[in-house]
């Protein structure tokens, strides 16, 4: 079923047959991403779920153009923003994207903030150029507030190590939204945080995205995190998408054995009645051989994939 | 505030203990050196019996080891490093007259090697040309492997003997006082070179590590240009370990100045030390070594303070603003 | 709602069956075996390694065997201050001695001192550093303090003082240099021992009942070797540089002058005997350079850190 796409109806982001190879040794490489087809519409929230090594983070970085600057890193396939092809585009085009269109929230707020630069300045940097310094300063404070921080005047003069983990993560959120992007990619935004703080930060993220109307790609290994916040879901394993569809439906009726296994292991953790379950090696062998390439897509009501 | 006091208090205390340890080791070396301890002190100088008696009394050589030890420590801490034999000057006076000459070499060499090293290291780290990086790396290993006295001799052979552009020895034309610039050039270059190579290597790896840090990704994600990321984010973080390295390398360069002063006949502390060794003027030898050690200890303390100021994570020590969980 | 993707029920059944399989038990894997070998192999595969080893072997050979063939280093009969020629490949010195055998002999002391010091440092460093890093406590603090001591009182200076008081000979120099340089190696061993001691398999070895000492010997230390070997290699170079500095100043065995001492003599003849200053220094340079390059090569091979991919 094809429907003609015009610029007006083109999705905000569309990945077609994306593949990424990363160097792992002097002469060896690994297929971090094998073949990913993914899209995000305006205002949509999409989740990418998978274990470590599944390629979900690499996918996120490929979208933002933040793969390592190593000539041995290879990207094939199509990355389209608003219909515009980005793979193979020059530095300037990518810089435009990173400056204004795509904001990224990273995993570990301690290491992802510059330890010797004040918070206020780090947020200000993210605001696209232009405007007097005074107004930029005010803007940066506003974004810090939007990200759920209080007492921002004080905070702006502090250094990262003076803040708590939750506060630092919110600074990362502020940095991402400071450019008023069309798309925010959050890569494991709560993994480094305590359980109690996780919920708070997620709530902040939820609120912020809702207020600004940006699209969101939420990447996590934690199904619970993704389930609560996304409209659609992609499940990745070993560099491939094994299942996709509306979040509620995928969670209720997973079709791919891997999704089923994932759900089962999460439930086994949460539910006292269910026996503790971890994915057996035999299953992984199967995934690697016969089960490779198996992909289940649940389409939505209007027939879109 | 309290944390700062505690830290620096401890630092001063351990520095003091270190200094005493060095003094003790030197004392012990003197004690177990072969021969009569008075001979060890006097060396080869022909002295009268009365003088011997005087020395024996003055240094308490007729007393027990412990008493001598305490006396020795007391003397040092009062700034009394003894008398230089064969001269009317005290050790302190002698050292005082020469120390500026050594500083005239050591300070420019320090500045040149530090800034040069930082610059070259940063260039080597950021360049995408493997040729340039490899070349600079190779150059720094070569300079690092070069015996500094040979470098000095080669420079003399080339610039002074063959080309005649610069003088061969000393710090001033014969009979003149003070330090003349053209005499300063070769010794400073010699001293600076191997230090520069060492610092460049360290800076390069510090920079590469800094560039590999996560916050660089965040900076890139803001759409900042490669240059901005380098200078505003990677560089300041890479400089922090360099403070420590630079400070601690002073000890090496002070030792190295001994050699360089010999090569160029530069009348500084190093040459004084060598001279004293040759003449077995052991009081003077000890005195110079004590001064060198003290200098290094003081520089170490200053380096620690400098680092504490530079790194905002440590500045918390001063203000009491600690890091929350 | 429709599904796309191949419809392969029998395979799904297999998958579901595999899903039911129980997880396997924990296995204690001991890293180090295969990985270590491949690192060494990597090192020896590089052509540069062999070049440097070759240079060092040639120099060592020539230094210790050469003198038997080259002539008498102390014989005075030759014409004085002759430039290098076919008859006197490295010229003659100011006293009419053939320079070639003198250079060859000079290598003996430098190389001997360099390697002996390095071996002593490595031994002491491994023992003390390993104990300090693995067991911590008193040994650890003591080691840190000793290292600080020698940073404040540089080896060269201490050697000067000792030589002044005790006289200068090869043995004393070796002892002093070893004493001042072992803390640096020990610190590396300590850091590695601490790091490896934290790893999981050490804990499991302990749980299996091995004594701490046994673990240190058979597990921790072998895996700590790569940076230690690099450090020891560099120590050879540094020791040779310090030894030649000392002999340049005049602290060394006057009967068997090492390269530094030759340079000292040469300084009076820079105008008319350039070869006297060139060759000894060149030898020191080449040897130390080869050693440092070897060390770098070792470092690259044994501590692989390719452009980090996150």
| Cα angle C213-C215-C221, degrees, rounded to a multiple of 5 | 95
**In this structure, are residues C112 and C178 in contact, taking their beta carbons and an 8 Å threshold?**
no
Helix (H) or strand (E) holding C299: helix C274-302
| From A66, A114, A128, residue closest to B221, measured CB to CB | A66
The answer to whether residue B14 is domain-embedded is no
CB-based contacts of A256: which residues, under 8 Å, 6+ apart? A235, A242, A243, A294, A295, A296
Residues B75 and B129 in one domain: no
pLDDT of chain A along its 305 residues, tens only? 344 455 557 788 999 999 999 888 777 888 889 889 999 998 899 999 988 888 899 999 999 988 888 788 889 999 998 888 888 888 888 988 899 899 999 988 889 999 999 999 999 999 988 778 888 899 899 999 988 888 999 999 999 999 988 899 999 999 999 988 999 999 998 888 888 888 888 888 888 888 888 999 999 988 888 888 899 999 998 888 888 899 988 888 888 888 888 888 777 777 777 677 777 777 777 777 766 677 777 765 544 44
Residues B157 and B293 in one domain: yes
- Chain A closest CA to B210's CA: distance in Å? 10
Residue with tokens 């200098």: B295
The answer to whether residue B9 is domain-embedded is no
Q: What is the mean pLDDT of chain C?
A: 77
- Six-digit token pair at B185? 């050039």
For residue range A197-225, list pLDDT tens digits in order: 888 888 888 888 888 889 999 999 888 88
How much is the average pLDDT of B66-76?
79
- Residue A170 CA to residue A206 CA, distance in Å, equals 12
Query: Of B59, B80, B101, which closes a domain?
Result: B80
- Residue C300 CA to residue C233 CA, distance in Å, equals 13
Helix (H) or strand (E) holding A186: strand A183-187
SS3 assignment, position A35: strand
User: C145, exposed or middle or buried, with CB in 10 Å at 0-12, 13-18, 19+?
Assistant: middle
Considering only residues C198 and C143, tell me which one the structure prediction assigns the higher pLDDT: C143
Residues of B in contact with A159 (CB under 8 A): 312-313
- Residue A290 CA to residue B106 CA, distance in Å, equals 71
The answer to whether residue B199 is domain-embedded is yes
CB-based contacts of A304: which residues, under 8 Å, 6+ apart? none
B293 interfaces chain C, CB cutoff of 8 Å: yes
**In this structure, are residues B25 and C157 in contact, taking their beta carbons and an 8 Å threshold?**
no
Q: Which of C24, C23, C26 is nearest to C207 (CA)?
A: C26
- Residue A286 CA to residue A290 CA, distance in Å, equals 6
Q: Which of B254, B256, B237, B133 is nearest to B194 (CA)?
A: B256
DSSP 8-state symbol, B87: S
- Residue A232 CA to residue A217 CA, distance in Å, equals 10
**In this structure, are residues A192 and A165 in contact, taking their beta carbons and an 8 Å threshold?**
yes
pLDDT at B43: 60
Out of A129-138, B38-47, B206-215, least confident range: B38-47
For residue range C123-182, list pLDDT tens digits in order: 988 888 888 877 777 878 888 888 888 888 888 888 888 877 787 788 888 998 899 888
Q: Which of C8, C35, C220 is nearest to C126 (CA)?
A: C220
- Residue B163 CA to residue B37 CA, distance in Å, equals 51
A-B C-beta contacts closer than 8 Å: 83
pLDDT at B116: 92
Residues of C in contact with B40 (CB under 8 A): 165
- Residue A245 CA to residue A301 CA, distance in Å, equals 11
Angle between helices B2-32 and C155-166 (to 10 degrees): 30
Q: Do C5 and A296 make contact, defined as CB atoms within 8 angstroms?
A: yes
Residues B101 and B66 in one domain: no
Residues of A in contact with C8 (CB under 8 A): 294
How much is the average pLDDT of B86-91?
71
Partner B, chain C 272-291, Cβ-Cβ below 8 Å: 274, 277-278, 280-282, 284-285, 288-289, 291
- Residue B150 CA to residue C102 CA, distance in Å, equals 17
B34 interfaces chain C, CB cutoff of 8 Å: yes
Q: Do A98 and B222 make contact, defined as CB atoms within 8 angstroms?
A: yes
Handedness of CA C240, C245, C249, C251 (dihedral sign): negative
| From B219, B223, B325, residue closest to A164, measured CB to CB | B325
Beta-strand relationship, A240-246 and A74-81: unpaired
- Six-digit token pair at C136? 């911590």
Residues of B in contact with A106 (CB under 8 A): 214, 217-218, 221
User: C51, exposed or middle or buried, with CB in 10 Å at 0-12, 13-18, 19+?
Assistant: middle
pLDDT at B126: 80
Longest dimension (CA), chain B: 84
| From C245, C282, C310, residue closest to B149, measured CB to CB | C245
Number of domains in chain B: 2
Q: Do A25 and C21 make contact, defined as CB atoms within 8 angstroms?
A: no
Chains in contact with chain A (at least 3 beta-carbon pairs closer than 8 A): B, C
Residue B169: CB atoms within 10 Å = 15
Q: Which of A236-245, B68-77, B280-289 has the highest mean pLDDT?
A: A236-245
| From C3, C6, C12, residue closest to A257, measured CB to CB | C12
- Chain A closest CA to B126's CA: distance in Å? 12
Beta-strand relationship, A215-220 and A102-105: unpaired
Query: Of B34, B53, B80, which closes a domain?
Result: B80
For residue range C237-267, list pLDDT tens digits in order: 989 999 999 899 888 777 778 889 889 988 8
How much is the average pLDDT of B104-114?
91
- Residue A120 CA to residue A126 CA, distance in Å, equals 10
DSSP 8-state symbol, A97: I
- Chain B closest CA to A303's CA: distance in Å? 35
- Six-digit token pair at B230? 């380098």
Residue with tokens 């995934």: A287
- Residue C289 CA to residue B236 CA, distance in Å, equals 32
- Six-digit token pair at B89? 């000057």
Inform me whether the pLDDT recorded for C34 exceeds 50.
no
| Cα angle B119-B122-B123, degrees, rounded to a multiple of 5 | 85
Residue A72: CB atoms within 10 Å = 15
Residue C141: CB atoms within 10 Å = 11
pLDDT at B41: 60
Inform me whether the pLDDT recorded for C28 exceeds 60.
no
- Residue A202 CA to residue A204 CA, distance in Å, equals 5
Helix (H) or strand (E) holding B257: helix B235-264
Q: What is the mean pLDDT of chain A?
A: 85
**In this structure, are residues B269 and B95 in contact, taking their beta carbons and an 8 Å threshold?**
yes
| From B21, B156, B262, residue closest to C149, measured CB to CB | B21
SS3 assignment, position A228: helix
**In this structure, are residues A218 and A105 in contact, taking their beta carbons and an 8 Å threshold?**
no
User: C47, exposed or middle or buried, with CB in 10 Å at 0-12, 13-18, 19+?
Assistant: exposed
Residues B169 and B28 in one domain: no
- Residue C40: pLDDT band (50, 70, 90) is low
pLDDT at B37: 56
C166 interfaces chain B, CB cutoff of 8 Å: yes
- Six-digit token pair at B183? 């005499």
- Six-digit token pair at B65? 């080891």
Q: Do A24 and C19 make contact, defined as CB atoms within 8 angstroms?
A: no
**In this structure, are residues B221 and A98 in contact, taking their beta carbons and an 8 Å threshold?**
yes
The answer to whether residue B268 is domain-embedded is yes
- Give chain A's count of helices (H) and strands (E): 11, 11
Residues of A in contact with B213 (CB under 8 A): 111
**pTM beyond cutoff 0.90:** no
Inform me whether the pLDDT recorded for B307 exceeds 70.
yes
pLDDT at A2: 43
CA atoms within 13 A on the CB side of B6: 5
The answer to whether residue B274 is domain-embedded is yes
Residues B55 and B117 in one domain: no
| From C156, C241, C278, residue closest to B258, measured CB to CB | C156
Cα A67 to Cα A17, A23, A89, C222: the distances in Å are: 17, 11, 14, 36
Q: Do A106 and B218 make contact, defined as CB atoms within 8 angstroms?
A: yes
**In this structure, are residues A141 and A178 in contact, taking their beta carbons and an 8 Å threshold?**
no
CB-based contacts of C193: which residues, under 8 Å, 6+ apart? C129, C130, C132, C133, C134, C216, C220, C221, C224
CB-based contacts of C55: which residues, under 8 Å, 6+ apart? C286, C290
- Residue B213 CA to residue B222 CA, distance in Å, equals 15
- Six-digit token pair at C19? 């899903």
DSSP 8-state symbol, C24: P
- Six-digit token pair at B54? 């005087």
Name the phi and psi angles at B228, rounded to 5: -60, -45
Chains in contact with chain C (at least 3 beta-carbon pairs closer than 8 A): A, B
User: Domain span at residue B164?
Assistant: 92-318
The answer to whether residue B173 is domain-embedded is yes
pLDDT at A200: 85
Quick one: what percent of chain C has pLDDT higher than 90? 8
Q: Which CATH superfamily is domain C34-302 in?
A: MetI-like (1.10.3720.10)
CB-based contacts of C287: which residues, under 8 Å, 6+ apart? C56, C59, C107, C110, C111, C114, C237, C240
Residues B61 and B124 in one domain: no
For residue range B218-267, list pLDDT tens digits in order: 999 998 888 888 889 999 999 998 998 888 888 778 888 899 999 999 98
pLDDT at C26: 39
B321 interfaces chain A, CB cutoff of 8 Å: yes
Partner C, chain B 212-231, Cβ-Cβ below 8 Å: 212, 214, 217
Torsion angle defined by CA atoms of residues B24, B30, B31 and B32, in that order, rounded to the nearest 10 degrees: 110
Residues of B in contact with C260 (CB under 8 A): 147, 149
pLDDT at A217: 94
pLDDT at A290: 66
Residue C234: CB atoms within 10 Å = 22
- Six-digit token pair at C18? 């595999």
Q: How far does CA C70 lie from the centroid of its chain?
A: 30
Q: Do B214 and A100 make contact, defined as CB atoms within 8 angstroms?
A: no
How much is the average pLDDT of B82-90?
69
Query: Of B80, B107, B124, which closes a domain?
Result: B80
- Chain B closest CA to C11's CA: distance in Å? 42
pLDDT at B253: 83
C216 interfaces chain B, CB cutoff of 8 Å: no
| From C15, C309, C310, residue closest to A286, measured CB to CB | C15
CATH 3.40.640.10 assigned to domain A40-60+100-297? The reply is no
Q: How far does CA A220 lie from the centroid of its chain?
A: 8
Torsion angle defined by CA atoms of residues A57, A61, A66 and A71, in that order, rounded to the nearest 10 degrees: 80
| From B214, B222, B324, residue closest to A126, measured CB to CB | B222
- Residue B254 CA to residue B262 CA, distance in Å, equals 13
- Residue C296 CA to residue B213 CA, distance in Å, equals 24
How much is the average pLDDT of B209-224?
90
pLDDT at B94: 83
């Amino acid at each position: 079923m094809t429907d003609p796409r015009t610029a007006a109806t083109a999705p905000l982001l569309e990945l077609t047959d994306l593949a990424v190879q990363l160097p792992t040794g002097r002469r060896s490489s690994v297929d971090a991403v094998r073949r990913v087809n993914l899209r995000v519409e305006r205002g949509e929230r999409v989740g990418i779920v998978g274990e470590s090594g599944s390629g979900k983070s690499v996918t996120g970085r490929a979208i933002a153009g933040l793969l390592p600057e190593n000539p041995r890193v290879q990207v094939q396939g199509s990355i389209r923003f608003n219909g515009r092809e980005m793979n193979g585009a020059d530095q300037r085009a990518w810089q435009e994207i990173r400056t204004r269109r795509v904001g990224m929230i990273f995993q570990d707020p301690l290491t992802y903030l510059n330890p010797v630069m004040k918070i206020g300045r780090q947020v200000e940097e993210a605001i696209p150029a232009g405007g007097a310094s005074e107004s930029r300063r005010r803007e940066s404070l506003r974004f810090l507030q939007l990200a759920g921080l209080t007492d921002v005047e004080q905070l702006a003069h502090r250094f990262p190590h003076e803040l708590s983990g939750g506060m630092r993560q919110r600074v990362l959120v502020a940095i991402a939204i400071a450019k008023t992007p069309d798309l925010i990619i959050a890569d494991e935004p709560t993994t480094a945080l305590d359980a109690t703080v996780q919920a708070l930060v997620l709530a902040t993220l939820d609120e912020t995205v809702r207020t600004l109307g940006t699209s969101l790609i939420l990447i996590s290994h934690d199904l619970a995190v993704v389930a609560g916040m996304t409209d659609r879901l992609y499940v990745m394993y070993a560099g491939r998408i094994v299942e996709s569809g509306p979040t509620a439906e995928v969670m209720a009726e997973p079709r791919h054995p891997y999704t089923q296994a994932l759900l089962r292991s999460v439930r086994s953790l949460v539910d006292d009645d269910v026996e503790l379950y971890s994915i057996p090696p035999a299953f992984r062998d199967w995934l690697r051989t016969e089960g490779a390439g198996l992909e289940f897509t649940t389409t939505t009501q209007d027939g879109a994939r | 505030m309290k944390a700062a006091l505690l830290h620096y208090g401890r630092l001063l205390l351990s520095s003091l203990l270190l200094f005493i340890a060095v003094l003790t080791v030197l004392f012990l070396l003197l004690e177990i050196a072969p021969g009569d301890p008075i001979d060890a002190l006097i060396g080869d100088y022909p002295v009268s019996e009365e003088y011997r008696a005087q020395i024996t009394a003055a240094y308490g050589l007729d007393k027990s080891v412990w008493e001598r030890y305490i006396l020795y420590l007391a003397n040092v801490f009062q700034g009394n490093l003894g008398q230089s034999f064969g001269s009317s000057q005290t050790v302190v006076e002698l050292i005082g007259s020469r120390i500026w000459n050594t500083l005239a070499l050591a300070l420019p060499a320090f500045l040149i090697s530090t800034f040069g090293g930082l610059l070259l290291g940063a260039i080597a780290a950021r360049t995408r040309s493997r040729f340039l990086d490899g070349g600079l790396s190779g150059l720094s290993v070569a300079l690092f492997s070069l015996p500094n006295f040979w470098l000095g001799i080669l420079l003399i052979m080339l610039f002074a003997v063959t080309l005649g552009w610069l003088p061969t020895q000393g710090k001033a034309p014969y009979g003149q006082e003070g330090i003349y610039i053209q005499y300063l050039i070769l010794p400073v270059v010699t001293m600076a070179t191997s230090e520069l190579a060492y610092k460049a290597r360290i800076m390069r790896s510090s920079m590469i590590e800094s560039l590999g840090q996560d916050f660089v990704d965040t900076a890139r994600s803001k759409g900042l240009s490669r240059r901005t990321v380098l200078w505003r984010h990677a560089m300041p973080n890479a400089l922090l370990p360099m403070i420590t390295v630079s400070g601690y390398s002073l000890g090496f360069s002070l030792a190295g100045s001994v050699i360089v002063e010999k090569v160029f006949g530069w009348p500084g502390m190093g040459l004084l030390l060598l001279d004293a060794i040759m003449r077995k003027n052991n009081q003077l030898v000890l005195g110079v070594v004590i001064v060198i050690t003290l200098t290094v200890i003081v520089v170490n303390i200053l380096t620690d303070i400098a680092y504490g100021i530079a790194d905002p994570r440590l500045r918390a020590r001063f203000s009491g603003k600690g890091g929350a969980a | 709602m429709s599904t796309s993707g191949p419809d392969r029920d029998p395979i799904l059944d297999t998958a579901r069956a595999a899903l039911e399989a129980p997880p396997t038990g924990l296995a204690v894997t001991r890293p180090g075996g295969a990985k270590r070998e491949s690192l060494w192999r990597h090192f020896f595969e590089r052509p540069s390694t062999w070049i440097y080893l070759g240079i060092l072997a040639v120099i060592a050979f020539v230094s210790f065997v050469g003198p038997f063939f080259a002539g008498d280093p102390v014989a005075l009969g030759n014409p004085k201050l002759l430039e290098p020629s076919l008859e006197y490949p490295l010229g003659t010195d100011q006293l009419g001695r053939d320079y070639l055998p003198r250079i060859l002999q000079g290598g003996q002391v430098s190389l001997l001192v360099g390697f002996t010091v390095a071996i002593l440092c490595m031994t002491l460093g491994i023992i003390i550093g390993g104990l300090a890093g693995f067991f911590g406590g008193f040994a650890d603090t003591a080691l840190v303090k000793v290292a600080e001591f020698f940073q404040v009182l540089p080896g060269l200076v201490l050697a000067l003082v000792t030589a002044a008081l005790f006289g200068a000979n090869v043995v004393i120099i070796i002892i002093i240099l070893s004493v001042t340089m072992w803390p640096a190696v020990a610190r590396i061993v300590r850091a590695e021992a601490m790091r490896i001691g934290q790893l999981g398999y050490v804990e499991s070895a302990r749980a299996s009942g091995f004594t701490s000492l046994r673990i240190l010997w058979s597990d921790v230390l072998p895996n700590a070797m790569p940076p230690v070997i690099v450090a020891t290699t560099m120590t050879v170079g540094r020791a040779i540089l310090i030894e030649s500095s000392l002999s340049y100043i005049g602290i060394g065995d006057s009967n068997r002058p090492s390269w530094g001492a030759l340079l000292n003599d040469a300084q009076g003849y820079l105008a008319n005997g350039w070869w006297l200053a060139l060759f000894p220094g060149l030898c020191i340079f080449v040897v130390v350079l080869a050693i440092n390059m070897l060390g770098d090569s070792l470092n690259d091979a044994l501590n692989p850190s390719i452009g980090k991919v996150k």
